[in-house]
Amino acid sequence: MAAPNEAGNKKKSSYELMSAETKAMQDDASLNPAMFWVAEGESLWQSKAGSKNIACASCHGDAKKSMRGVATQYPKMVKGKLQTLEGQINQCRSGAQGSPALAYESKELLAITAYIALQSKGMPIAVRETSANKAELEKGRHSFNERMGQLNLSCAQCHEDRAGLKLGGSPIPQGHPNAYPIYRLEWQTLGSLQRRLRNCMSGVRAQQFEYGSPEMAQLELFLMWRAKGMLLEAPGVRP
């Protein structure tokens, strides 16, 4: 099964569609608002927590070494379950630290995710189809191509069939997830890929997948597989 755009149109990050000013915000750490979350994530990495009173660093050491390349591999199968990066962070919290799971879109979960993702910035997305994830990948592919909502549109109709055209005066991107979590100027805060997917579902007036649901993980898996080889930009900035 070949990835879309692999043999035809070149995979293009939505970074290439942004203004010079917005690109500069992403490129310069002193201008990128997401770096406030990264700094918080670095602090949380070192902070002991939970009933076991241990930190992320207690197990994983220096994130700049131990987390390099990690974000390029998620979602992936972990002990027979498809796990997103956020899901794995929460699994470590509950299992290793004895801490409650962090809420999706909470400052803390976004901060740790952004800090981990930063360690893989500039590395190619490495998600591949395997015998272990094939069924989950197919479900994500189905979600991407299935029409949904009152507008009866699929992800593919916008981000493949109409990519490069304009909607409301703005170019339609190919819909690659290579910059998440992102600081979106429209949101005025950092947000996850799942938040963006839920925005799209709301836009076509469809029932949104729940945060942390298997359906979200499957769709994330397909999108990361579809973007394999693209360089990770996280944490990105978008309009």
How would you classify residue 74: left for phi > 0, otherwise alpha for psi between -120 and 50, otherwise beta? beta
Helices (H) and strands (E) in the chain, counts: 10, 7
Instruction: Give every CB contact of residue 6 below 8 A, 6+ residues apart in sequence.
Output: none
Can you name the residues that pair with 76 across neighbouring β-strands? 83
DSSP 29: T
92 is catalytic: no
The SS3 call for residue 182 is strand
- Cα four-point dihedral sign 213, 217, 223, 224: positive
Which residue is catalytic, options 56, 92, 158, 200?
Answer: 200
Is the distance from CB of 225 to CB of 137 less than 8 angstroms? yes
Is the distance from CB of 239 to CB of 173 less than 8 angstroms? no
102-108 own/partner pairs: CB under 8 Å, 24+ apart: 104/192, 104/194, 104/211, 104/212, 105/191, 105/192, 105/195, 105/211, 107/37, 107/40, 108/40, 108/44
Rg (the chain; Cα; Å): 17
* Catalytic positions: 200
